[in-house]
């Protein structure tokens, strides 16, 4: 339903014409994300301050208009798709650095600044912000926090929850909150900062974040270990993660992915390769040799086929060629894919891959697996062609089986992509009823009129009337 004229007029009072879109042709591109789902918002606004965002939330509350926050649209779960139309607030113009303290190792930024822009700002001062999702060059800090998106470095440095000191937010009720601390210790009150990180814009809108910075390592080295099968690779992962030289990246590629890459890439691997680990270590230059020796020792087992160390930039590039070839290869292999980011305990990785291979055979669909091995976060890519009769139905039945498999292995349905729309109907399998009731009660406390990002994260309890 279109917005009522009184609401639209008030919206125009808050946002100048350059910051307000109402023409459907202009609004259309702000109704989708990388899930490829799309719904047309009634209006799109571009806040440029905390105060303007506050006025927007209070206006939407007054009129019962749905409000969906958006970063750069790189998410894959439909979390920024406006299910009830309403207003999309795109934070791309709130991209300023508000404060930087090198001595206290923090930076305060607005949500629209990109991950890469933060890294570029702090790098000359000898720091970095550890979360490094694949889309770092384009994704926003607000989006990273909304999903708790981490990337490969999480294996050593943690996720955004571990690297964010505090937030400034506006709840769905229109209340302003300052959460967290400016210090690395603090236990006063409940930890609402960590609650909001990963909540996908369903509880509050972030207008500033205080990020905890880490000193840049002096040196970094790249290693590659190739194994005969997944079981051998999993044994090595467990041993690598149990020794003192914690890698800053530990990436896994299964045999299906290796075989797919062979068809479309010149990346050289042993013929009988059934799994591959890409490993990075960082720290002082003088510590590289003992770290590499420790990891090499942990990586060795009867299934190891090759262990290589890159000595030059060209060799680093060559070692990463297989991993980098995966994304373009997947685009060639099938017209469509379902990309999930499940997590299981490291010891369960062999059973996960065996189970996925069985599902692949049962449903007649290719499944390619790779991801962040050190914390058991595997990106499962289910390939199919929706133009073939019945293949979409088989793909979603296979997805259902995959989630059942993951939960049976004491895993979780998402490590960093979030829930959004794509996984919301499965969360009742992972969360027990009392936990789900408590979470819904928290949602009502923060957003009593249910205006923020309706229908995301959990199955809706009931379908509300269309907003006016």
Give the start-to-end residue ranges of the domains of the chain: 1-216+419-463, 219-408
> Measured between alpha carbons, how far is 98 from 106 in angstroms, rounded to an integer?
11
**DSSP 3-state of 70:** strand
Of 371, 377, 384, nearest in space to 330 by CA: 384
Looking at residue 158, its pLDDT comes to: 96
What does the DSSP 8-state code read for residue 421?
Answer: T
**Rg from Cα positions in the chain:** 23
What does the DSSP 8-state code read for residue 92?
Answer: T
> Measured between alpha carbons, how far is 175 from 124 in angstroms, rounded to an integer?
37
Q: 0.85 cut: is pTM over it? A: yes
Of 91, 79, 68, nearest in space to 414 by CA: 79
Both tokens assigned to 132: 């490094």
**DSSP 3-state of 322:** helix
* Residue 395 CA: distances (Å) to CA of 170, 364, 385, 406: 39, 9, 9, 16
Per the CB < 8 A criterion, the answer to whether 295 and 248 are in contact is no
User: Strands, DSSP E only, in 199-312?
Assistant: 204-212, 214-215, 219-227, 249-254, 275-283, 304-309
**DSSP 3-state of 217:** coil
> Measured between alpha carbons, how far is 1 from 66 in angstroms, rounded to an integer?
11
**DSSP 3-state of 129:** coil
pLDDT in tens, the chain (468 residues): 589 999 999 999 999 999 999 999 999 999 999 888 999 999 999 999 999 999 999 999 999 999 999 999 999 899 999 999 999 999 999 999 999 999 999 999 999 999 999 999 999 999 999 999 988 999 999 999 999 999 899 999 999 999 999 999 999 999 999 999 999 999 999 999 999 999 999 999 999 999 999 999 999 999 999 999 999 999 999 999 999 999 999 999 999 999 888 776 666 788 899 999 999 999 999 999 999 999 999 999 999 999 999 999 988 988 887 777 787 788 788 889 898 999 999 989 999 999 999 999 999 999 999 999 999 999 999 999 999 999 999 999 999 999 999 999 999 999 999 999 999 999 999 999 999 999 999 999 999 999 999 999 998 775 544 444
> Measured between alpha carbons, how far is 265 from 408 in angstroms, rounded to an integer?
35
CATH of segment(s) 219-408: 3.40.462.10
> Measured between alpha carbons, how far is 356 from 399 in angstroms, rounded to an integer?
10
Which burial class, exposed, middle or buried, applies to 29 when counting CB atoms under 10 A from its CB (0-12, 13-18, 19+)?
A: exposed
Per the CB < 8 A criterion, the answer to whether 170 and 61 are in contact is no
Q: Which helix (H) or strand (E) holds 294?
A: helix 288-299
Looking at residue 85, its pLDDT comes to: 97
Looking at residue 259, its pLDDT comes to: 87
> Measured between alpha carbons, how far is 123 from 132 in angstroms, rounded to an integer?
14
> Measured between alpha carbons, how far is 123 from 100 in angstroms, rounded to an integer?
12
Of 95, 108, 21, 91, nearest in space to 57 by CA: 91
**DSSP 3-state of 259:** helix
> Measured between alpha carbons, how far is 404 from 163 in angstroms, rounded to an integer?
32
Looking at residue 35, its pLDDT comes to: 87
Topology at the third CATH level for domain 1-216+419-463: 3.30.465
Both tokens assigned to 330: 């997947």
Tell me how far the alpha carbon of residue 162 is from its chain's centroid. Answer: 15
Both tokens assigned to 337: 């894919």
> Measured between alpha carbons, how far is 234 from 227 in angstroms, rounded to an integer?
10
Those residues whose C-beta lies under 8 Å from the C-beta of residue 54, and which sit 6 or more positions away, are: 170, 174, 176
């Amino acid at each position: 339903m279109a917005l009522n004229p009184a609401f639209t007029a008030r919206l125009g009072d808050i946002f100048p014409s350059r910051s307000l879109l109402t023409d459907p042709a202009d609004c259309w591109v702000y109704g989708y994300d990388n899930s490829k789902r799309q719904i047309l918002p009634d209006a799109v606004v571009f806040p440029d301050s905390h105060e303007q965002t506050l006025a927007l939330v209070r206006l939407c509350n007054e009129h019962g208009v749905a409000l969906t926050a958006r970063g750069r649209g790189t998410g894959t779960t439909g979390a920024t798709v406006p299910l009830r139309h309403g207003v999309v607030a795109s934070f791309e113009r709130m991209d300023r650095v508000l404060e930087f303290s090198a001595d206290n190792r923090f930076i305060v930024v607005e949500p629209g600044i990109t991950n890469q822009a933060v890294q570029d700002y702090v790098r000359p001062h000898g720091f970095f912000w550890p979360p490094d999702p694949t889309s770092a060059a384009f994704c926003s800090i607000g989006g990273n926090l909304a999903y708790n998106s981490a990337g490969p470095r999480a294996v050593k440095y943690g996720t955004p929850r571990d690297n964010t000191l505090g937030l400034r937010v506006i709840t769905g009720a229109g209340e302003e909150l300052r959460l967290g601390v400016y210090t690395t210790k603090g236990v006063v009150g409940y930890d609402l900062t960590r609650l909001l990180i990963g909540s996908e814009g369903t509880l509050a809108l972030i207008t500033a974040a205080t990020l905890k910075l880490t000193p840049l390592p002096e040196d970094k080295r790249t290693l590659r270990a190739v194994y005969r099968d997944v079981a051998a690779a999993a044994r090595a992962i467990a041993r690598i993660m149990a020794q003192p030289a914690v890698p800053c990246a530990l990436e896994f590629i299964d045999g299906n992915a290796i075989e797919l890459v062979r068809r479309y890439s010149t990346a050289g691997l042993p013929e009988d390769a059934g799994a591959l680990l890409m490993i990075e270590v960082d720290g002082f230059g003088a510590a590289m040799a003992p770290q590499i020796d420790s990891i090499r020792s942990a990586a060795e087992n009867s299934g190891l086929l090759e262990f290589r160390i890159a000595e030059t930039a060209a060799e680093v590039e060559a070692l990463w060629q297989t991993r980098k070839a995966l994304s373009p290869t997947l685009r060639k292999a099938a017209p469509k894919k379902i990309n999930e980011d499940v997590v299981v305990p490291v010891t369960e990785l062999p059973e996960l891959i065996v189970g996925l291979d069985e599902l692949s055979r049962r449903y007649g669909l290719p499944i390619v697996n790779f991801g962040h091995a050190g914390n058991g976060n595997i990106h499962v890519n289910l390939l199919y062609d929706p133009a073939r009769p019945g293949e979409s139905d088989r793909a979603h039945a296979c997805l259902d089986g995959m989630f059942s498999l993951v939960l049976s292995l004491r895993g979780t349905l998402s490590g960093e992509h979030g829930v959004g729309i794509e996984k919301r109907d499965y969360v009742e399998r992972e969360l027990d009823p009392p936990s789900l009731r408590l979470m819904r009660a928290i949602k009502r406390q923060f957003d009593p009129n249910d205006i923020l990002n309706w229908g995301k994260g959990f199955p809706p309890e009931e379908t509300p009337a269309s907003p006016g």
